[in-house]
Amino acid sequence: MSNAKENDKSISVIIVTYNAADTLQACLDSIYRQTYPKLQIIVMDGASVDGTIDILKANSNRITFWKTEPDKGIYHAMNKALNHVKTDWIYFIGADDELLPEFSAMAAQLDNTNCIYYGNVLVQNEKNGGPTNALTHTMHNICQQAMIYPAWVFKKYRYDTTYPIAADYALNIRCWADKSLEFCYQDLTIANYNHTGISSVIKDERFEKDRLKLVFRYHGFKMWRKLITRRWKEIRQSRKI
């Protein structure tokens, strides 16, 4: 990969929806308010029945592509949406989340297509995020709404839909191990993240079962051992408390 040219810095903003009529317009309006001009909106709807389709129709002149049909879950819908990307950068936002002004500042800094850029999000009006490393990431995922990916990543990888809630975490573990990629932190708060979404309130039991196996496969024995040691220390500490 090479540095992105100025005229190639368009970003596809992907929204996956299902019965999101209560929040979708606010999400779209937050995208419209961005000062960064090169945003293309892609919406993949899972056959909503609550008025979501009416909102999409009303906004169709500002949405690059949208489609409604049944899907097999969030990440299946995201994988379908990726088939319609024509930009060099990709960002995912929930229909109940909103972009903040610093998203445009981060977008303007996208100059290296070997980088997955990530910043911070607001959670209940508090800044959440910060720089991380491979070991820390094996314990805690980066919020998906804090990340902007070079599009080629999704030509190489797709979301593993066997993980219904944490497929983005599984993907990021693979990306950490990819020698052609690096994670580039920007201290910018780019989205207001709704902490009541499914990924925040329900654990992905399949992913939790496979986490150590994924770390061993993509990071090797040393990182796997560090993760085991760190988990054991946290368990001992919690028992002391």
pLDDT tens track for 17-61:
999 999 999 999 999 999 999 999 999 999 999 999 999 999 999
Mean pLDDT within 110-125: 97
pLDDT digits (tens, 9 = 90+) for 39-49: 999 999 999 99
For the domain spanning 6-202, the CATH number is 3.90.550.10
Provide the phi-psi class of 26: left if phi over 0, else alpha when psi is between -120 and 50, else beta: alpha
174-183, 191-200, 221-230: which range is least confident on average? 191-200
Contact 129, 118 (CB under 8 A): yes
pLDDT at 7 (0 to 100): 45
pTM of the model: 0.91
Query: Where does the pLDDT of residue 6 fall: very low under 50, low under 70, confident under 90, or very high at 90 and above?
Result: very low
CA-closest candidate to residue 121, choices 141, 139, 144, 137: 144
Distance of CA 145 to the CA centre of its chain: 5
pLDDT digits (tens, 9 = 90+) for 123-170: 999 999 999 998 888 889 999 999 999 999 999 999 999 999 999 999
